[in-house]
Amino acid sequence: MLMRVIYLLLFVLMSVSAAAQQKVVEIQYTKEQLQARRKEIMDNINETQQQLDALKNDKKATMGQLRALQNKLAQRQNLIANINDEMQDIDNTIRSSSKEVVNLRQTLEQLKVRYAQSIRYAYETRSSYDMLAFLFSSTDFNDAMRRMKYLKKFRDFRKQQVEQIRTTQNQLQHKIGSLNAEKAQKDELLNSQQQQKQVLLAETNQTNQVMQDLKGKESDLLKKIEANKKTAAKVNKLINNIIEREIAKATKAAEEEDRRNDAAEKKAAASATSSGSNDNNPPKVLVHSKSKSDSQPLLLTPTDVALSSNFEGNKGKLYWPVEKGYISDHFGTHPHPIETKVMIDNAGVDIQTSPGATVKAVFEGTVKSITVLGGVKMVLIQHGNYFTVYNNLQSTSVSPLQHVSTNQPIGIVANDDNGEPTVNFQIWKVIGKKGSTKLNPETWLGKAH
């Protein structure tokens, strides 16, 4: 009976231990994710700092410096938030490990008590259970064999008790070591958090100083804002015109195909009527469906359909148009970072990058236009019903109607009016014969770099 109880206890302990080990693995996996995210944020901060160092060669405060500082400030806040998440995860692990330590200590004490009882019982009954006397008192051979098996089981049971105690002691020591390591890591994270908060405070002061310097140049800023608005309006009009031209060409091609199909069907119907005039059954007239839908005028071929579908299927996973950089101005209408009463309407996103950076196609497609506006170049690439725009290039390495592959270089970035290397990236979608709409590139691009 006692042995059955011990087996049952051991089975329960093994099950609990296996569940606890599985839980630890899950927590470590989450911890690894947080650590990887912390490294990614630190890499982004260091990259932004490199760009900021390059901008500091100009002693005057610029919008590029301000945006770099704001980006670094936001990344630093993300870093602190990630550290908080890591510490919360460690706190959960410490609480779980502490409970396991308590349980293991209780289990160890119970095993020691049961082993002591077993030893005490064997000592007290040693004269009655002398092995030879116990065996020779058997009634027959089968009884003797049963008694030998009993003695062996009792001996094995004692060995198992010792092994259980040793295993539990090892588990306890290992868990205590893990617990101490978790506490040490938490202390390290606390120190890192305090350091990051101090750096954040210094960067906040630096950002505020640059903002104050720029506020002293309000008239120049307002002139640049107005000039940028006019340039953006010209760019949007130019893009609209190019897309409308492509829609008109596709619509005309579809209509011509429909006319050819209609003529072919009428000819076939007339031939069928003349050949079947003596038959009792009237001839069947074939009616073809229109070749292209009004809602998808640019999908002229199966290749166009597949390309458009693949582009749409990669939403949130598109490559960035530059290898390194950060979004310095977001999509849509929002206040200017200095002149907050002035609203900016960005048809795409501005990505500030390194001087002379290579601009690449985010997806395969066909170059539909290369235009020059304000001394810089703009490339427009068609992907079925979608278009991507790469504006503010100082040079291009592709030509109109050329098919480009994903990540293929298409040009070199130019400096904007503030002197910073910045590419304006846009995504447009055709919504039918009536025109197109602008999409937020941030929801289409994958992780940076």
Which pLDDT tens digit goes with each residue over 227-277?
888 888 888 899 988 888 888 887 787 677 767 777 777 777 777 666 655
Give the pLDDT band of residue 7 (cuts 50, 70, 90). Answer: very low
Give the pLDDT confidence score for residue 28 in this predicted structure.
Answer: 44
- Tell me the pLDDT of the chain averaged across its residues: 76
Question: 177-209 burial by CB neighbour count: b if 16+ within 10 A, else e?
Answer: ebbeebeebbeebeebbeebeeebeebeeebee
Percent of the chain with pLDDT over 90: 22
156 with 244, same domain: the answer is no
> Region 181-198: what's the mean pLDDT?
80
Hunting for tokens 């064999």 — which residue is that? 145
Secondary structure (DSSP) of 111-165: HHHHHHHHHHHHHHTTTTT-HHHHHHT-SSHHHHHHHHHHHHHHHHHHHHHHHHH
Number of structural domains found in the chain: 2
**Last residue in a domain, options 215, 239, 273:** 215
> Region 182-194: what's the mean pLDDT?
80
392 with 309, same domain: the answer is yes
> Region 275-297: what's the mean pLDDT?
52
Between 366 and 225, whose confidence is greater?
Answer: 366
Residue 422 lies inside a defined structural domain of this protein:
yes
DSSP annotation of 375 reads T
- 26 has a pLDDT exceeding 50: no
Give the pLDDT confidence score for residue 305 in this predicted structure.
Answer: 80
Q: CA angle at residue 174 from 171 to 175, to 5 degrees?
A: 85
157 with 233, same domain: the answer is no
- 374 has a pLDDT exceeding 60: yes
The Cα–Cα gap between 391 and 140 comes to: 101
Residue 187 lies inside a defined structural domain of this protein:
yes
327 with 192, same domain: the answer is no
57 with 130, same domain: the answer is yes
> Region 277-282: what's the mean pLDDT?
54
124 with 238, same domain: the answer is no
- 214 has a pLDDT exceeding 60: yes
350 with 422, same domain: the answer is yes
Give the pLDDT confidence score for residue 173 in this predicted structure.
Answer: 78
179 with 87, same domain: the answer is yes
196 with 239, same domain: the answer is no
- pLDDT tens for 305-344 read 888 889 999 999 999 999 988 898 999 998 888 777 888 8
Q: Which domain holds residue 203?
A: 2-215
Least confident stretch, 49-53, 112-116, 185-189, 416-420: 49-53
Secondary structure (DSSP) of 327-339: EEE-SEEEE-SSS
Q: For residues 352 and 322, is the Cβ–Cβ distance under 8 A? A: no
84 with 198, same domain: the answer is yes
Give the pLDDT band of residue 144 (cuts 50, 70, 90). Answer: low
Residue 259 lies inside a defined structural domain of this protein:
no
Residue 261 lies inside a defined structural domain of this protein:
no
Q: What is the pTM assigned to this prediction?
A: 0.62
CATH number at residue 77: 1.10.287
Tokens of 326: 């950060």
If you average pLDDT over each of 52-56, 108-112, 279-283, 441-445, which comes out highest? 441-445
241 with 151, same domain: the answer is no
Residue 276 lies inside a defined structural domain of this protein:
no
CATH number at residue 363: 2.70.70.10
Give the pLDDT confidence score for residue 375 in this predicted structure.
Answer: 87
Residue 279 lies inside a defined structural domain of this protein:
no
Residue 341 lies inside a defined structural domain of this protein:
yes
Give the pLDDT band of residue 135 (cuts 50, 70, 90). Answer: low
211 with 239, same domain: the answer is no
Q: Which residues contact 357 (CB under 8 A, 6 or more apart)?
A: 322, 323, 324, 325, 412, 413, 421, 423
Give the pLDDT confidence score for residue 299 in this predicted structure.
Answer: 67
Residue 107 lies inside a defined structural domain of this protein:
yes
- 82 has a pLDDT exceeding 90: no
